[in-house]
Amino acid sequence: MMHDRRTLIRNSMLLGAGMALLPQPGFAKADARAAIRKAALANKAADIKRLQDWIGLPTIAAENRNVAEGAAYMEELAKAAGFTGVRQVKTDGLPGVVGFMDNGAKHTLGIYFMYDVKQFDPAEWQSPPLEARLVDKPGWGQVVIGRGAVNQKGPEATLLAALHAMKAAGVNPPVNLVLVAEGEEEIGSPHFRQIVETPDVLAALRKTAGIFIPAGWQNANGKVDVNLGSKGIIELELIASGEKWGRGPKQDIHSSLKAMVDSPVWRLVHALNTLVTPDGNTVAIDGWFENVRKLTPREKELIAKVASAGDEAQQKAQLGVTHWIDDLPYNQALERLAQEPTVNIEGLVAGYTGPGGKTVLPGRAVAKLDLRLVPNQTRAEATQKLRAHLDARGFKDIELNVSGGYDPTETAESSRLIQAELATYRALGVEAALNPRLAGSWPGAVFTAPPVSIPAGHFGLGSGAGAHAPNEWYLVESTNPKVAGITDATMGYVEIMYQLAAGR
């Protein structure tokens, strides 16, 4: 493999490098890709501006912020990229956006977008999170910094750039496309199934060879993972209050009264302690592991390959940690990452949290949790077991409010979608490793389960980091020859369409 992968990406688009890119029935000719690349280069400034403008309009479902504006903007982006029949789909929550592109092709590809982003505190950022400034990042190149830059507006805007480049080059995409976008992913996609099961959307999705969410996850060595699944998730709040408990205060009172008044905050702490083992690392909810599927020998084999090719020290440095759980060796830590369901405390809120102290005994306490699920767990089963566990220990008064979530996702290694992803990375000289399961979550289970029942995954070149964190970034102009900037990443989306079109 050439050391300069970026050069190889460019050359393969221009020349059809390797047997995989030789013209064949239903496959693109090299000169079509060359024309598309020329258009992508000419469009680069506009592509970056499109991303910056999109970052400047955040839809934040948790805050009910820019709900109508975000959906309308997603509609306009889809129409401008060439989708037809673009419309909003109403749900019991925020609307989705769908669009279609019939190119008279043999195969159809599904594309999943989320147009919402996580909350942010501007005081934590090095530059305003909605200004989408271009800055130089040592070791990477020029990046755009802003909320949603990598999760997921940067990769999604890059896929849109591929469609704009094809349109400018006068080239029809070699596959038909179905776009499904939602505005509630960051709160657990509570109404996404309503969008997907809209009759015409469901019928279109069933015709696809699979669906993917655009991603930009190349590491500093240019390597990528091809995920065969993702953990499921439940997002929820546990609430303890004097009002529901019938003990403790119904509102904050003076802390000196703790000597004779119960504390709802301590009650919540005791309830939380029952959910995990004393070290906080293993779920202790009654019956939690009854249906958990252990890793298969093949999955362990794939994880071993990921571990041997990975850079443990670099990953620890990026995460800001010095130890894995129980001081496990890297391979076992990665196995645990793929296999273990988790109970995580996202936040604890009670009483006074401002500067200095304030001597109160709070009347209410809230724990924000996320539960990550693995095959063969389900959201419904896990929620029921959590409720039963609390009730059995005398915590019936603690409220359980589920805001969203979905089941785990699994896609066969042999599926046309996964094989097209692997073929694309091979054709572009990008080293890819099969990963049994992403520890993060996305609503892919809505696609892989009935009534849709299609393969679902992630795909993309390029890089970025800081999802859900301050200073989130996405690479637009790469100085690392192993990692794609926005134009090479654009051509990656072009290439997977041709690889899928060439599949039998």
Task: Assess whether 15 and 91 both reside in one domain.
Answer: yes
CA distances from 270 to 325, 342, 373, 440 (A): 23, 18, 23, 28
Query: Do the beta carbons of residue 111 and residue 177 sit within 8 Å?
Result: yes
228 in Cβ contact with 436 (< 8 Å): yes
* 401 in the same domain as 310: no
Q: How confident is the model at residue 314 (pLDDT cuts 50, 70, 90)?
A: confident
Tell me how many domains the chain contains. 3
- The tokens of 278 are what? 């004393």
Looking at residue 18, its pLDDT comes to: 30
What single DSSP character describes residue 65? B
Please give the Cα distance from 454 to 447 (Å, whole number).
6
pLDDT of residue 13: 38
Residue with the larger pLDDT of the pair 23 and 43: 43
Q: Report the chain's mean pLDDT, rounded to a whole number.
A: 93
Region 176-184: mean pLDDT is: 98
Whether residues 11 and 119 fall in one domain: yes
Tell me, yes or no, whether 245 and 184 share the same domain. Answer: no
Which residues are 404's β-sheet partners?
Answer: 235
Peptide bond into 176 cis (omega under 30): no
- Beta strands at 364-373 and 232-241: parallel, antiparallel or unpaired: antiparallel
Which CATH number does the domain housing residue 251 bear? 3.30.70.360
Which of these, 230, 185, 145, 212, lies nearest to 436 by C-alpha position? 230
**Mean pLDDT across the stretch 130-142?**
97
47 class by beta-carbon count within 10 Å (0-12 exposed, 13-18 middle, 19+ buried): buried
On whether residue 335 sits in a domain, the answer given is no
Q: Which residue matches tokens 């403790």?
A: 248
29: in domain? yes
Instruction: Identify residue 159 by its one-letter amino acid code.
Output: L
For residue 249 the two structure tokens come to: 């205060």
Angle between helices 330-339 and 297-309 (to 10 degrees): 130
Task: Choose between 241 and 221: higher pLDDT.
Answer: 241
95 has a pLDDT exceeding 60: yes
Query: If pLDDT is split at 50, 70 and 90, which confidence band does 319 have?
Result: confident
Question: Which residue, of 406, 435, 459, is where some domain finishes?
Answer: 406
- In the prediction, which pLDDT does 504 show? 60
The mean pLDDT of 320-347, rounded to a whole number, is: 96
> What tens digit of pLDDT does each residue of 386-408 get?
999 999 999 999 999 999 999 99
Query: pLDDT tens digits, residue range 475-495?
Result: 999 999 999 999 999 999 999
Full domain range(s) for residue 352 = 232-292+341-406
Indicate whether 199 belongs to any domain.
yes
Give me the DSSP letters along 366-387. Answer: EEEEEEEE-TT--HHHHHHHHH
The band of 318, judged by pLDDT with boundaries at 50, 70 and 90, is: confident
Q: Is residue 67 part of a domain?
A: yes
Residue 4 reports pLDDT greater than 70: no
CA distances from 396 to 11, 276, 368, 369 (A): 64, 18, 18, 18
Structure tokens at 476: 């637009």
- Answer whether residue 87 shows pLDDT above 50: yes
Cα–Cα distances (Å) from 45 to 49, 51, 52, 161, in that order, read 6, 10, 11, 11
Round to the nearest angstrom and report the end-to-end CA distance of the chain: 27
Radius of gyration of the chain measured on its C-alpha atoms:
24
The H-assigned helical ranges of 325-435 are 330-339, 379-392, 416-427
Residues 61 and 179 grouped into a single domain: yes
CATH code for the domain of 70:
3.40.630.10
Residues 275 and 393 in one domain: yes
pLDDT surpassing 90 at residue 30: no
If you average pLDDT over residues 119-148, what whole number do you get?
97
- Is the distance from CB of 12 to CB of 6 less than 8 angstroms? no
Give the other-Cβ count within 10 Å of 403's Cβ: 15
Residue 160 clears pLDDT 80, i.e. is over it? yes
**Nearest one of 388, 297, 279 to 335, comparing CA atoms:** 297
Lookup: tokens for 359? 């001597």
Q: Tell me: the pLDDT tens digits for 185-201?
A: 999 999 999 999 999 99
Quote the pLDDT of residue 503.
Answer: 79
pLDDT at res. 187: 93
DSSP state, residue 292? P
User: Do 201 and 315 sit in the same domain of this protein?
Assistant: no
Helix and strand element counts for the chain (H, E): 15, 20
In a domain, 108, yes or no: yes
Are the C-beta atoms of 427 and 495 separated by less than 8 Å?
yes
* Same domain (yes/no): 42, 127: yes
Residue 179's pLDDT band (cuts 50, 70, 90): very high
Residue 5 has pLDDT above 60, yes or no: no
Residue with tokens 């970034």: 473
Buried b (16+ CB within 10 A) or exposed e, 233-244: bbbbbbbbbbeb
Residue 173 predicted with pLDDT over 60: yes
Cβ-proximal residues to 475 (8 Å cutoff; 6+ apart), any chain = 137, 140, 141, 142, 143, 216, 462, 463, 464, 483, 484, 485, 486
For residue 497, give the amino acid letter: M
Whether 243 shows a pLDDT value over 70: the answer reads: yes
Same domain, 385 and 467: no
Considering the domain boundaries, does residue 253 fall inside one? yes
Query: Looking at the predicted structure, is the pLDDT value of residue 1 above 50?
Result: no
pLDDT, residue 19, reads 28
Where is 88: in which H helix or E strand? strand 84-89
Q: Tens digits of per-residue pLDDT, 54-82?
A: 999 999 999 999 999 999 999 999 999 99
Both tokens assigned to 367:
């724990």
Last residue of a domain, one of 352, 385, 406: 406
Write down the H helix ranges in 56-112.
Answer: 67-80
280/394 same-domain check = yes
Any domain includes 360? yes
Residue 255, pLDDT > 60, answer: yes
Block residue for tokens 């990975």 = 310
Say yes or no to pLDDT of 222 above 80: yes
Question: pLDDT at residue 9 above 90?
Answer: no
- pLDDT at residue 29, as a whole number: 57
Do 273 and 243 lie in a common domain?
A: yes
Residue 152 lies in a domain: yes
Dihedral sign from CA coordinates of 136, 142, 143, 144: positive
Q: Which residue has the tokens 């693109």?
A: 28
pLDDT tens digits along 341-387 = 999 999 999 999 999 999 999 999 999 999 999 999 999 999 999 99
96 beta partners: 89
- Whether 16 has a pLDDT exceeding 90, the answer reads no
Which DSSP string corresponds to 131-198?
T-EEEEETTTEEEEESTTIIIIIHHHHHHHHHHHHHHHHT---SSEEEEEEES-GGGT-TTHHHHHTS
Residue 382: predicted pLDDT: 98
- The rounded distance, in Å, linking the Cα atoms of 319 and 42 is 37
Are 280 and 382 within one domain? Answer: yes
Residues 433 and 299: their CA atoms lie apart, in Å, by 12
